[in-house]
Amino acid sequence: MRRLPAEWEPQSAVQLTFPHKDTDWADVLDAVMPCFIKIAETISHFQPVLIVCADVKEARELLRGGKSENYKFEEVPSNDTWARDHGGITIEENGERIILDFVFNGWGLKFPADKDNLISRHLYNKGVFDAEMLHGGIVLEGGALESDGLGTLLTTTECMLSPNRNPHLNKEDIELHLKRCFGLQQVLWLNHGYLAGDDTDSHIDTLARFCSPDTIAYVKCSSASDEHFDALQKMEAELSNFKTLDGKPYHLVPLPWPEACFDEVGNRLPATYANFLIINGAVLVPTYNKPQDQEALRILKNLFPDREIIGIDSRPLILQHGSLHCVTMQYPKGAIK
């Protein structure tokens, strides 16, 4: 019997794939590196951090803070830094951990991914995982999946049915494959909701997140003049119609909508408070130096009262069209040596 653990379950480590001069971060490396350092150092106070990097010596020099004993460095070639999407996805089968290694093709062939697609296999060959590794069989990114740990998966049709991911499979095929891979009883499909500036085709982790088996936090846009208003209103209606496995409606908690963020040439950037990371004893929340930051932190504190809520300035991350959750991948307890 397979199971896809929820993010709030005990973890063995979180993976970060650090930027370097040959990634898309080259022009803003000085701006974004402190953000990666801050994330790594913050996580290290709670649990181990797996640092995938181009140069271990250089990475060690950068990470002078935090708990040094909780850093595990692995030198592996990479195209970019989005560990959520090129990282391995851990399942449980009969009490044992298995790492599923899906194909990562740069979010539907948008960006080079030849090196990123091999990162999990390199880590397995280096003996990093305390688990068997199996191929996932399809193109799939971790940011497209939200699990309640009990057999329900939340995802989006925009991403999962992208013609540049798995064109040979229809919705029914994909749902069947997901159920087999993750031991699911139901897949909840969102047909609406998007984020301007997002390259992922509406990853669920930018829009709606499980906070417990019966609670979903989601982004809510209240301004009718905002380009997202209509789509997010429709998404909210869809969420209100979803039911848990025992037939009850979900407790829905709206997250604030941050004031729009733009790059230097006026393109809107994908700022979202849904892109938080749950770790052992804490929740890391992306902030954007906007008035809504404090409200997002307050709401998440109510949702996770037993965890420390820590804001991370994620403005540098959205310059490359992702945020905090996107650059991390957690591995449940027992998955990493």
**pLDDT tens per residue, range 250-262:** 999 999 999 999 9
Q: Name the pTM for this structure.
A: 0.98
Average per-residue pLDDT in the chain?
97
Domain boundaries, the chain: 2-332
Mean pLDDT, rounded, for 82-98: 97
**pLDDT band for position 127 (50/70/90)?**
very high
* pLDDT, mean of residues 194-209: 97
CA 183/CA 179 separation, integer angstroms: 5
Residue 139's pLDDT is what?
Answer: 98
Q: What is the pLDDT of residues 313-326, one digit of tens each?
A: 999 999 999 999 99
Which CATH number fits the domain 2-332, given the four candidates 3.40.920.10, 3.40.50.2020, 3.75.10.10, 3.40.50.12280? 3.75.10.10
What is the predicted pLDDT for the residue at 52?
98
The backbone torsions φ and ψ at residue 5, rounded to the nearest 5 degrees and listed phi first, read -60, 150
283 pairs with which residues across the strands? 278, 309
**Which residues are 147's β-sheet partners?**
153
Confidence at residue 336, expressed as pLDDT on a 0 to 100 scale: 97
Confidence grade of residue 285 (pLDDT, cut at 50, 70, 90)? very high
Do you know the residue count of the chain?
A: 337
Q: For residue range 293-302, what is the model confidence (pLDDT) as tens digits?
A: 999 999 999 9
Per-residue pLDDT tens digits for 30-62: 999 999 999 999 999 999 999 999 999 999 999
Compute the average pLDDT of residues 269-277. Answer: 98
SS3 content of the chain, % helix, strand, coil (to 5): 30, 30, 40
Residue 101 in 3-state DSSP? strand
